[in-house]
Amino acid sequence: MKLTTKGRYAVMAMADLASFKDQGPVSLSDISLRQNISLPYLEQIFLKLKNNNLVKSVRGAKGGYKLELSPDEIKISNIISAVDEEVKMLNCKKDSKKGCNNKSSKCITHNLWDQLDQHINNFFEKVKLQDLVKKKQILNK
C-alpha cells in the first residue's frame, strides 16, 4: 500500500513551488535539480497540475510555473486528484468476473474499505500546502 511517484512528486514539486513563490516563475529544471526528479517526468506532472488550475505557466526563456492560488488555499487532496492518484480501497465492480462483488450484494469487507477511503481522504482534505512549507514544523493534525 504505497503512493505512486506521480502523487509523491506532485506534492514535492508543489511544495517546492510554494517555497520559491516570491522569486518569479520557477522552471522545472530547477525543481528537477532540487527535488531529484526527472525533467520530462515533471513535465507530464505539471501538464496535469496546470489543467487542474493549480499552477499557471509562463512560456519561453526565463519561464516556468507559478502557483495559481496561495499555499493556504491548496489542499493536498487537490494535488493528489489532479495527477489522478486515486484513493481506491473498494474493489466492487459491475461485471461478475472481476472484483469482489460476485453475488450482486456487497461483500463482507465493503464497509471497511469504504470507511478507510473516507479516513484517508479526510487526511488529504485537512492538510494544506502551506502546512508543508512552514519550515519543517510538525504538522499539527
Partner DNA sequence: TTTAAATCATACTAAATTAGTAGGAATTGA
Partner DNA sequence: TCAATTCCTACTAATTTAGTATGATTTAAA
DSSP 41-73: HHHHHHHHHHHTTSEEEE-STT-EEEESS-GGG
CA 88, 89, 95, 97: dihedral to nearest 10 degrees? 130
Q: How far is the CB of 62 from a copy of itself (least distance, A)?
A: 25
Q: How far is the CB of 53 from a copy of itself (least distance, A)?
A: 22
Residue 92 is a binding residue for a copy of itself (CB under 8 A)? no
Residue 134 is a binding residue for ligand FES (CB under 6 A)? no
Task: Report the residue number, 63 or 72, with the smaller CB distance to DNA.
Answer: 63
Cα–Cα–Cα angle for 21, 25, 27, nearest 5°?
A: 110
Q: Indicate which single residue of 74, 90, 129, 132 sits in contact with ligand FES (rule: CB under 6 A).
A: 90
Query: 52 is in the binding site of which of DNA, ligand FES, a copy of itself, none (Cβ under 5 to 8 A by kind)?
Result: none
Q: What are phi and psi of 6, to 5 degrees?
A: -60, -50
Can you give the binding site for ligand FES, defined by CB under 6 A? 90-92, 100-101, 106-107, 109-110, 113
